[in-house]
Amino acid sequence: MLVTILSWIYIFIVCVVTGLVVNRLLSKVVPVPSYDDGEGHFGITGLCVTGLVTLTVYAEVFSIFYKVGAACHVVMLILVAVGGFFYRTEFTKLFGTIKKKCTGASFNSVALFVIIVLAAAFFSSNGKFHTDTGIYHAQAIRMLEEYGVIKGLGNLQLHFAYNSSYLALCALFTLSFILPFPLHSMTGFFMVLFTCYAAFGLAGWSQHKRHGGDFARIAILLYALTNMTGLQSPATDYGTMFMTLYVMCAWITYAEERVDVAAKHDVKTDFNAVAYFGYLAVLSIFTVSMKLSAALLVILAILPAVLLIKQKMFKELGFFLLIGFLSFLPYMVRNVILSGWLFYPVASIDLFNVIWKIPAEYMKVDADQIKVWGRCLYDITKIDDGVTSWLPVWWGEKQHYEVMLIYSQFVGAILTCVLLLFRLREKKLNFAVVLFYVTIFANLVMWFFTAPFIRYGLAFLLLLPLCALGDMLEIIVSRKSVVLGFVASLIVINFASWVDDYFMDDMVFAKHELRSGHFLVPVDFDRGNMSETDMDGLTVYVANYDEINSYYYNPGSCYDFMVERTELIGDGIKEGFKPKR
Q: Which of 227-241, 245-259, 273-287 has the lowest mean pLDDT?
A: 245-259
CA–CA gap between residue 559 and residue 550 (Å, rounded): 13
pLDDT at 38: 47
Kindly state the average pLDDT of the residues 251-257.
89
Q: What are phi and psi of 329, to 5 degrees?
A: -60, -45
Q: Which residues of 217-248 are buried (b: 16+ CB within 10 A; e: fewer)?
A: bbbbbbbbebbbbbbbbbbbbbbbbbbbbbbb
CA–CA gap between residue 207 and residue 75 (Å, rounded): 45
Q: What are phi and psi of 474, to 5 degrees?
A: -60, -45
pLDDT at 269: 46
> CA nearest 118: which of 233, 12, 219, 195?
195
Helix ranges restricted to H, 289-377? 302-310, 314-339, 360-374
Identify whether the C-beta of residue 139 lies closer than 8 Å to the C-beta of residue 182. no
Partnered with residue 542 across adjacent β-strands are 531, 557
Per-residue model confidence as pLDDT tens digits over 386-410: 999 999 999 999 999 999 999 999 9
Kindly state the average pLDDT of the residues 419-443.
92
Per-residue model confidence as pLDDT tens digits over 504-545: 999 999 999 988 878 999 999 998 889 999 998 999 999 998
* Residue 271 pLDDT greater than 80, yes or no: no
Full DSSP string of 150-173: -TTHHHH-GGGGS--HHHHHHHHT
User: Which residue type does 369 have?
Assistant: Q
What is the average pLDDT value for the chain, to the nearest integer? Answer: 92
* Residue 320 pLDDT greater than 90, yes or no: yes
- Which of helix, strand or coil describes residue 421? helix
Angstrom CA distances, 43 to 6, 191, 250, 324, 447, stand at: 22, 17, 11, 21, 32
pLDDT at 41: 57
The Cβ-side half-sphere exposure at 423, using a 13 Å CA radius, reads 20
3-state secondary structure 434-456: HHHHHHHHHHHHHHHHHCCCHHH
Reported confidence tier of residue 264, pLDDT bands at 50, 70, 90: very low
pLDDT at 267: 45
Q: How, if at all, do strands 538-543 and 530-535 pair?
A: antiparallel
- Region of residue 547 (left: phi > 0; alpha: psi -120 to 50; beta: else): left
pLDDT at 258: 67
Identify whether the C-beta of residue 217 lies closer than 8 Å to the C-beta of residue 20. no
Helix ranges restricted to H, 87-159? 88-103, 107-125, 131-132, 138-146, 153-156
Kindly state the average pLDDT of the residues 55-71.
97
Reported confidence tier of residue 94, pLDDT bands at 50, 70, 90: confident
CA dihedral for 51, 56, 57, 58, sign (positive or negative): positive
pLDDT at 103: 84
* pTM of this structure: 0.95
Count Cβ atoms within 10 A of the Cβ of residue 167 and give its class: 0-12 exposed, 13-18 middle, 19 or more buried. Answer: buried
Query: Which range, 77-81, 106-110, 421-425, is most confident?
Result: 77-81
pLDDT at 273: 86
pLDDT at 289: 97
pLDDT at 36: 66
User: Which residue type does 75 have?
Assistant: V
pLDDT at 263: 44
Per-residue model confidence as pLDDT tens digits over 466-492: 999 999 988 888 888 888 889 889 999
CA–CA gap between residue 61 and residue 75 (Å, rounded): 13
User: Which residue type does 72 have?
Assistant: C
Partnered with residue 568 across adjacent β-strands are 577
pLDDT at 20: 94
